[in-house]
Structure 1
């Protein structure tokens, strides 16, 4: 964890994938890494993946898609939270490929997911897109798998 917080992987344009069950601290950890990157004067954007994909669909409809994709390509660390909550449609696959293509080798992306990486190919839903997206995202990614019970569950009070 100390190595990840130092941020050398961000400066080296690597990616980070954090997986684990609900409530194990994936989002919290990604935010901590993002805050440290901000303190290191790097630009950071944290967004839930579903919200970003909705935003990109709207931008495509009103002609702002090129500008939005260009702005995403310039962010030093893009944090995509909650990868895999729902299968991707054709537009989502296309947008993700564009994002990862622009960022590959130039900027870093951090993805959190409840699903193990082995399930992502199926989630993406199209073999060609899945190969292309995962090659650009996972090929140069550090991986952290969190385990344990949800930290949100109430713990018994000790007297």
Structure 2
């Protein structure tokens, strides 16, 4: 039997091996048929491999925050409709190679919501790359210097979803616009992009130095793109207000006067988790 164990280890079937050892150790499995036990063993290996692939996709995505759908606050008045957002999370637009433009003022939650969508789509099996537009331009420039440009271009074309955060926050020079256009052109109607931006679509054109390149870039985005426009106060500002309100309520209920020298434990603090909006 040791030879079989060695073979399983060499083939890196660790989930299968762990499940077999578990069945050998626990009498509860002994009453099962061979087919039932085999099915459980194979299922363990399958789940292990699926989890490995998911973790690989999440690392590849380079999301700024690992946030899930249940962390989204749909009660905040900012123009975010729950049914519409959940529909985006299903990823049907990726199958049609469409783009999504997420617009709104600073702090309203664009990057967070883009991360939520990207995280959920990774879990559905899609490949994603999340990058700020300025970082993309820099990465392309550096890749030309070290000879990895063709490889990077191939990678950027292959992702099911390319998320460009802070889209057109800074104006694009002639050189930068050419580089961005090349990336968008390779993905046009072949794969999806998500643009998170402070700039309304009608203000995009002046942000691109060359008018001809601006026309070409916008032509590949705006006509078929779905749009989600957000509004309202900064989520960080709203969270700060809520925290202060909770602190005041706590002081009122406890019958204590606010003290400037209060210790950290004397007031409740908002829990800061990597999946919370506004943090």
Q: Secondary structure at the match of 1:52?
A: helix
Indicate if the aligned counterparts of 1:57 and 1:91 stay in contact, CA closer than 8 A: no
Note if 1:91 corresponds to 2:91. Answer: no
Indicate the residue corresponding to 2:245 in structure 1. Answer: 157
Note if 1:133 corresponds to 2:217. Answer: yes
Which structure has the bigger radius of gyration? 2
Q: Secondary structure at the match of 1:24?
A: coil
User: What does the per-residue CA deviation read over 1:94-145, in whole Å, with 9 as the maximum and x for residues that have no partner?
Assistant: 1111011000010000000011111110001211001101111222210001
Distance 1:141 1:152 in 2: 29
Indicate if the aligned counterparts of 1:25 and 1:151 stay in contact, CA closer than 8 A: yes
Indicate the residue corresponding to 1:14 in structure 2. Answer: 98
Indicate the residue corresponding to 1:44 in structure 2. Answer: 128
Asked which structure has the greater RCO (Cα within 8 Å, sep 6+), the reply is: 1
Q: Please tell me the root mean square deviation across aligned C-alpha atoms, in Å.
A: 1.0
Counting strand residues as a fraction of each chain, which structure ranks higher? 1
Distance 1:147 1:29 in 2: 13
Indicate if the aligned counterparts of 1:100 and 1:133 stay in contact, CA closer than 8 A: yes
Q: CA deviation at 1:84?
A: 1.8
Provide the TM-score with structure 1 as the length reference: 0.96
Q: CA deviation at 1:63?
A: 2.7
1:122 corresponds, among 198, 206, 229, to 206
Runs of at least 5 residues in structure 1 that lack an aligned partner in the other structure: none
Indicate the residue corresponding to 1:147 in structure 2. Answer: 231
Distance 2:143 2:114 in 1: 26
Counting helix residues as a fraction of each chain, which structure ranks higher? 2
Shift >3 Å, 4+ stretches: none
